[in-house]
Structure 1
Amino acid sequence: MVSARDDVFVTVRELRERIASGDPVVVLDVRWSLAKPDGEQAYLAGHLPGAVYVSLDDELTDHRVAGRGRHPLPSGTDLQAAARRWGVRKGVPTVVYDDWNRAGSARAWWVLTAAGVDGVRILDGGLAAWTAAGEGLHSGRFTPESGDVDVVHDDLYHGALRTLTAEQTQSGVDLLLDARAPERFRGEVEPVDPVAGHIPGAVNLPSTQLLSAEGTLLPDARLRALLADRGVAGGADVGTYCGSGVTAALAVAGLAAAGVDAALYPGSWSEWASHPDRPVAKGEH
């Protein structure tokens, strides 16, 4: 029986066996971090066999869109062209991975899944788990055959996964989780956006707390306990946000693995804080 966790995450062992058996799989390398958003050189130096590099800033974001935060979602037309360029195919599973806190892979998982692509999963533990298992890397660029996947063009991101507008963060959910680091939530520091603080009423659940010391998703019991501690229980309608909709995608993925269908506020704090009339909270609450 496939669990909710297995719908979202794939283990190194599962991926290794699939590659070794020759069963088709699309592997996407989505290395990205706040400090180093361009992961292409790291990809070229060493990546999983058959992996294609995906630029979070250039291909999973549309910077032409104004007023939607630092990482606006790409259009359906652009995403479909990119996914076909990456070799994403109908009926073939896609595995996404990264090397920093599952941020890049979670963004790719969310964008592709929300756009109607089936069978996308995050490599649990990322690149570090792959190498820790003794698996090798390939260098250089891998160019796949063109894919044939179709994505939703109309009303994109209002289908397979739920989204929130700024207004809905205040009235559209029972619980709003802020996936940023505690010091950013409290408004003590803000290294990226012009205003420090958080959306009033939000509860802090840093996305990194969903991960073990090895970078894998917490075991089920610990994950459920963490979510319950933050008020996720009893069918509550949950929303998530972060700085710009990237690390909050991991919160959505972790919640999905626990059987909770959470909504993402894609613009997140970078959109919220860009409007001076919106209220800002600081401190623990």
Structure 2
Amino acid sequence: MVVLDDLGGQLAAARAWWMLAIWAGHPDVRVLDGGLQAWLAAGGELVQAAWQPPEPGRWQPTFNAGAWIGADQVLAGRALLVDARSEERFRGEVEPIDPVAGRIPGAVCRPSAANLDKQGKFKPAQRLDAELPRADQVVAYCGSGVTACHNLLAYAIAGRPVPRLYPGSWSEWITAPARPVARG
């Protein structure tokens, strides 16, 4: 199965990859690196044809509850938190989506855009491996749980274990006033 998007940055494709391959356990999910634009630039064709439903498959999801964690586990603080949002959002200087700006205390910033080269494709595995934050336990988050999956895919491309996802991310974190917020 190949997932792709044409929105730029491959954010939706990375989320689809995580949901299918990591959370639901599909054995063969690929992301079209660079998305539809890269496909067309490489001479790939788009064929218009009458849609034919595929043959039913035998794959059954095997949902992996260990692939993600909730806010209480994040609050327990046993993993390195990697925030996929821009540095400005991470520092709390701007917040275009949520009513509170900032980050989860102790997190480090790895903007998802840093995973891509100038052509919009993922950087080579060796370079990603050198750049991605390291820790025994890593949890990825972002604003709403989508761009964090881009970082998770980068870890997979780098040949590292895929960290867990905090899908509620910043948007959920700030719904409980007792949860701490860091800025700066």
Normalising by structure 1, what TM-score? 0.59
Report the equivalent of 1:195.
Answer: 100
Please say if residues 68 and 167 of structure 2, whose CA atoms lie closer than 8 Å, have aligned partners that are also in contact. Answer: yes
Partner of 1:257: 157
Q: Matched residues in 1 for 2:104 and 2:52: separation?
A: 43
Question: What displacement does 1:157 show?
Answer: 3.7
1:118 aligns with 2:27: yes
Structure 1 runs of 4+ aligned residues shifted over 4 Å read none
Q: Any idea what SS the aligned residue of 1:167 has?
A: helix
Instruction: Give the Cα–Cα distance (whole angstroms) in 2 for the partners of residues 243 and 252 of structure 1.
Output: 15
| TM-score normalized by the length of structure 2 | 0.89
Write the deviation string for residues 95-115 of structure 1: whole angstroms up to 9, x where unpaired: 101122111001111111211
Counterpart-to-counterpart distance in 1, 2:56 and 2:122: 30
Structure 2 residue aligned with 1:98: 5
Partner amino acid, structure 2, of 1:262: P
Partner of 1:132: 41
1:268 aligns with 2:169: yes
Alignment identity in percent? 50
Match of 2:139 in 1: 239
Kindly tell me: are residues 199 and 218 of structure 1, through their superposed partners in 2, closer, same or farther at Cα, counting changes over 3 Å?
A: same
Contact 2:129 2:155 in 1 (8 A): no
Q: C-alpha offsets along residues 263-283 of structure 1, whole Å, 9 cap, x if unaligned?
A: 100111111012222111111
Provide closer, same or farther for how the CA distance between residues 262 and 137 of structure 1 changes in structure 2, counting only shifts above 3 A.
same
Letter in 1 for 2:129: R
In the alignment, the residues of structure 1 paired with residue 78 and residue 113 of structure 2 have an alpha-carbon distance, to the nearest angstrom, of 23
Letter aligned with residue 60 of structure 2: D
RMSD: 1.9
**Unaligned regions of 5+ residues in structure 2, if any?**
none
Q: Per-residue deviation at 1:141?
A: 7.5
Q: Does 2:53 align with 1:144? A: yes
* Number of equivalent positions: 180
Gaps of 5+ in 1: 1-93
The 1:248/1:221 distance shift into structure 2, 3 A limit, reads same
Distance of aligned partners of 1:270 and 1:144 in 2 relative to their CA distance in 1, 3 Å threshold: same
Given the superposition, is the C-alpha separation of residues 136 and 196 from structure 1 closer, same or farther in structure 2, using an over 3 Å criterion?
same
**Aligned pair in 2 of structure 1 residues 187, 116: CA closer, same or farther (>3 Å)?**
same
